[in-house]
Amino acid sequence: MTTAAPANELRTEALDYFKPLPSTVPAVSDNPITPEKIDLGKALFFDPRMSASGVFSCNSCHNLATGGDDNLETSIGHGWQKGPRNAPTVLNSVFNHAQFWDGRAADLKTQAKGPVQAGVEMANTPANVVATLSSMPQYVEWFEASFPGEDDPVTFDNFAKAIEAYEATLITPAPFDAWLNGDDGALSEKQTAGLRLFMDSGCAACHSGVNIGGHDYYPFGLVEKPGAEILPEGDKGRFAVTETVDDEYVFRAAPLRNIAVTAPYFHSGKVWDLGTAVAIMAESQLGADLSDKEVGEIVAFLESLTGTMPAATLPVLPAETGSTPRPSGEVQ
């Protein structure tokens, strides 16, 4: 009973910044989520034939076995080309205000259309995706069941909507959620000390909300710019989206759920150690020089954001037919 009061106090303060995950799959705009659509989206998410080469699926870079990302600085894609930015985790991404490091996609259905067409990623075209899907009767049936009443359900828009529906189910409740929901024992003493520090030193000013980030844009290097290795000069972040000088080197605050299992860090993917990343952030964003003990406490708190994966059973995908476009690994 003696610790109840401080825990409650800390929780009240924390609930001003953070929100626990909801217990159900959230609704998304203009895309009613149904079991049929989730199943179709899962099939599409795992299907490497959505890439021109037949090598990459969504799951290649957003691997559900490894925290929803690919553990690479930047992804390797079509023709062994490197992507420009670190692949973010797909887990809980439905709770981000917008998608991509620069927020250029308003939602997951818009995001899903990006990598599949990017020349350095899946290098496909909407027409070829639709031709591939239309060539397999089982896929056509799944689209019909997922988009009932539509004359022509096998479209690139519906492809993206189904993926969004599946991704919306990828939610990972974590010890921090249990703690926010009232379970004092869900965090260790070191973790609550880290949480305290995370709020008091200013981290929570940007990394807040249900995803502890992911909802607004901030300049990287607010107080002091990190070196060009970590913040490459050629990548001006949100400036490319808004073409506003104020948005130079502005990025969406990284959502921090599962951060402990999704190294390497930052849009450049240049930092592999979470403590190092925390120290860089403190210095560049807050002008704070954290002690090793403080960094350790914040890292311990961040580890409480590692959630439980929903069981993901691999789909059994339809086989190609005579009219399925053949894979091509050629680089244009």
Q: Is 149 helix (H, G, I), strand (E, B) or coil?
A: coil
Asked if 138 interacts with a second copy (CB under 8 A), we say no
| Residue keyed to tokens 């439980």 | 308
Asked if 248 interacts with a second copy (CB under 8 A), we say no
The residue among 100, 85, 88 whose CA lies nearest residue 63 is 88
> Between the CA of residue 310 and those of 26, 33, 35, 66, 88, what are the distances in Å?
15, 17, 15, 13, 18
Asked if 327 interacts with a second copy (CB under 8 A), we say yes
Asked if 229 interacts with a second copy (CB under 8 A), we say no
Considering only residues 47, 102, 164, 247, which one is a binding residue for a second copy as defined by CB under 8 A?
47
Asked if 137 interacts with a second copy (CB under 8 A), we say no
Which one is catalytic: 36, 73, 121, 294? 121
Asked if 131 interacts with a second copy (CB under 8 A), we say no
Which residues contact residue 224 at a Cβ distance below 8 angstroms, ignoring those fewer than 6 apart?
283, 284, 287
Give yes or no for a contact between 31 and 146, defined as CB atoms under 8 angstroms apart. no
Considering only residues 21, 50, 52, 64, which one is a binding residue for a second copy as defined by CB under 8 A?
64
| Residue keyed to tokens 């520090």 | 197
Buried residues in 12-32 as b, exposed as e (16+ CB within 10 A): eebeebbebbeeeeeebeebe
Q: Which of residues 90-129 bind a second copy (CB under 8 A)?
A: none
Asked if 55 interacts with a second copy (CB under 8 A), we say yes
Tokens matching residue 225: 């710019």
Amino acid identity at 183: D
> Has 303 been annotated as catalytic?
no
CA distance 141 to 284: 52
* Options 100-108, 210-218, 248-256, 307-315: segment touching a second copy (CB under 8 A): 307-315
Tell me whether residue 168 or residue 206 sits nearer to a second copy (CB atom).
Answer: 168
Tell me whether residue 201 or residue 324 sits nearer to a second copy (CB atom).
Answer: 324
**Residue numbers of the site for a second copy (CB under 8 A)?**
46-49, 53-55, 60, 63-67, 70-72, 76, 79-80, 82, 260-263, 272-273, 309, 311-317, 319-320, 322, 326-327, 329, 331
Residues taking part in catalysis? 121
